[in-house]
Amino acid sequence: KQEVTQIPAALSVPEGENLVLNCSFTDSAIYNLQWFRQDPGKGLTSLLLIQSSQREQTSGRLNASLDKSSGRSTLYIAASQPGDSATYLCALSSNTGKLIFGQGTTLQVKP
Amino acid sequence: GAGVSQSPSNKVTEKGKDVELRCDPISGHTALYWYRQSLGQGLEFLIYFQGNSAPDKSGLPSDRFSAERTGGSVSTLTIQRTQQEDSAVYLCASSLRGEGSYEQYFGPGTRLTVT
> Following DSSP, what letter does each residue of chain B receive, concatenated?
----EEE-SEEEE-TT--EEEEEE--TT--EEEEEEEETTTEEEEEEEEETTEEEE-TT--STTEEEEE-TTS-EEEEE-S--GGG-EEEEEEEESSSSTTSPPEE---EEEEE-
* A41/B84: higher pLDDT: B84
Distance from CA of B62 to the nearest CA of A (A): 19
Mean pLDDT, residues A29-37: 92
Mean pLDDT, residues A69-95: 95
Q: What are phi and psi of A98, to 5 degrees?
A: -60, 130
Q: Which segments of chain B have a pLDDT < 70? A: 1
For residues A20, A3, B66, B109, the Cα torsion angle rounded to the nearest 10 degrees is -10
Q: What are phi and psi of A84, to 5 degrees?
A: -80, -10
Query: What confidence score (pLDDT) does residue B2 get?
Result: 82
Preferred mutation among A32, A38, A95, A99 to probe B, highest tally of B CBs within 10 A: A99
How far is residue A22's CA from residue A77's CA, in Å, rounded to a whole number?
A: 12
Q: What are phi and psi of B42, to 5 degrees?
A: 70, -150
Mean pLDDT, residues A64-89: 96
Q: Check CB contact under 8 Å for A100 and B45.
A: yes
- Asked if residue A99 has pLDDT above 80, the reply is yes
* pLDDT tier, A30 (very low <50, low <70, confident <90, very high otherwise): confident
- Asked if residue A41 has pLDDT above 90, the reply is no
User: What are residue B50's DSSP bridge partners?
Assistant: B31, B53
* pLDDT tier, A95 (very low <50, low <70, confident <90, very high otherwise): confident
Query: What confidence score (pLDDT) does residue B1 get?
Result: 56
Pairing of strands A56-59, B53-56: unpaired
Distance of CA A104 to the CA centre of its chain: 8
Q: Check CB contact under 8 Å for B43 and A46.
A: no
Share of chain A above pLDDT 90, in %: 82
Beta strand spans in chain A (E): 4-7, 10-14, 19-25, 32-38, 44-51, 56-59, 62-67, 72-77, 86-93, 99-101, 105-110
Mean pLDDT, residues A13-37: 94
